[in-house]
């Protein structure tokens, strides 16, 4: 158990809908990362927050947004969903914002868009 | 374009042998490289980190090397066991100072008893 929790575990929805994925980082970690894993694209970095502020951005679509709250939990919002958004979404956390250091991954949320 | 390639999608070896996995990258200037293990349906688990000024790192049966000239990392598992069967991912930072990782395509290792 990494100490990172993600809810829900599974999500099935229809095209055009909006969903929210939630992540609670490991106790003491200030950085939260979101990654998307699909069969054809592998594990792709979406966005990083550090202590409530956006720190780095990857190939995150404009239809996707995220935030980190004062209690350090984070939410990833996916809107106008398309079939191609079906994937495993992982949240990870680390103590710092830079300099390396391992990332602790949550169990993931499996999103299926029908 | 930027690429992180791992030598093969799948690798089968006999129990007790050494597994060697390769990670090659193009158009990145990482300051460190990490290796993760991922089991089906689970999140990746950190194994080792090696920095750009280090040639080799070891941890128990694991060894990783990092050659910034060749733009390559090798990951070795000695005395492999069936429990080592998993997908192994290399990951590197973008060299920008942020901690976000760019992952390779992964190698699925199967250790045959």
Q: Which two tokens stand for residue B32?
A: 């460190």
pLDDT (0 to 100) of residue B78: 97
Taking the CA of residue A85 and the nearest CA in chain B, the distance in Å comes to 17
Work out the average pLDDT over B80-86: 97
CA-wise closest residue to A90 among B106, B23, B104, B45:
B45
Confidence band, pLDDT 50/70/90 cuts, at residue B96: confident
Q: Which two tokens stand for residue A20?
A: 């929210």
Cβ separation B42–A108 shorter than 8 A: yes
Q: What is the mean pLDDT of chain B?
A: 93
Cα–Cα distance measured from residue A76 to residue A22, given in angstroms and rounded to the nearest whole number: 7
**Chain B touched by A40 (CB under 8 Å):** no
pLDDT (0 to 100) of residue A49: 94
Low-confidence ranges of chain A (pLDDT < 70): none
Confidence band, pLDDT 50/70/90 cuts, at residue B25: very high
Cβ separation A42–B42 shorter than 8 A: no
What are φ and ψ of residue A69, in 5° steps? -90, 165
- Chain segment B30-55, per-residue pLDDT in tens: 989 999 999 998 999 999 999 999 99
User: For chain A, what is the radius of gyration of the CA atoms?
Assistant: 13
């Amino acid at each position: 158990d990494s100490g990172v929790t993600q809810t829900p575990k599974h999500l099935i929805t229809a095209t055009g809908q909006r969903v929210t994925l939630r992540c609670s980082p490991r106790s003491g970690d200030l950085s939260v990362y979101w990654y998307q894993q699909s069969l054809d694209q592998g594990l792709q970095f979406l966005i990083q927050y550090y202590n409530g502020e956006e720190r780095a951005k990857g190939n995150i679509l404009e239809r996707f947004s995220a935030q980190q709250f004062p209690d350090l939990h984070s939410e990833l919002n996916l809107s106008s969903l398309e079939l191609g958004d079906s994937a495993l979404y992982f949240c990870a956390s680390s103590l710092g914002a830079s300099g390396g250091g391992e990332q602790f991954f949550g169990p993931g949320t499996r999103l299926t868009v029908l | 374009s930027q690429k992180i390639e791992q030598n093969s999608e799948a690798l089968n070896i006999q129990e007790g042998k050494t597994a060697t996995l390769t990670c090659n990258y193009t158009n990145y200037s990482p300051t460190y490289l990490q290796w993760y293990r991922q089991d089906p349906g689970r999140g990746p688990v950190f194994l080792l980190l090696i920095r750009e000024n280090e040639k080799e790192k070891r941890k128990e049966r694991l060894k990783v090397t990092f050659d910034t000239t060749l733009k390559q990392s090798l990951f070795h598992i000695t005395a492999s066991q069936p429990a080592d069967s998993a997908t192994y991912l290399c990951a590197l930072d973008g060299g920008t100072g942020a901690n976000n990782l760019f992952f390779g395509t992964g190698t699925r290792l199967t250790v045959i008893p």
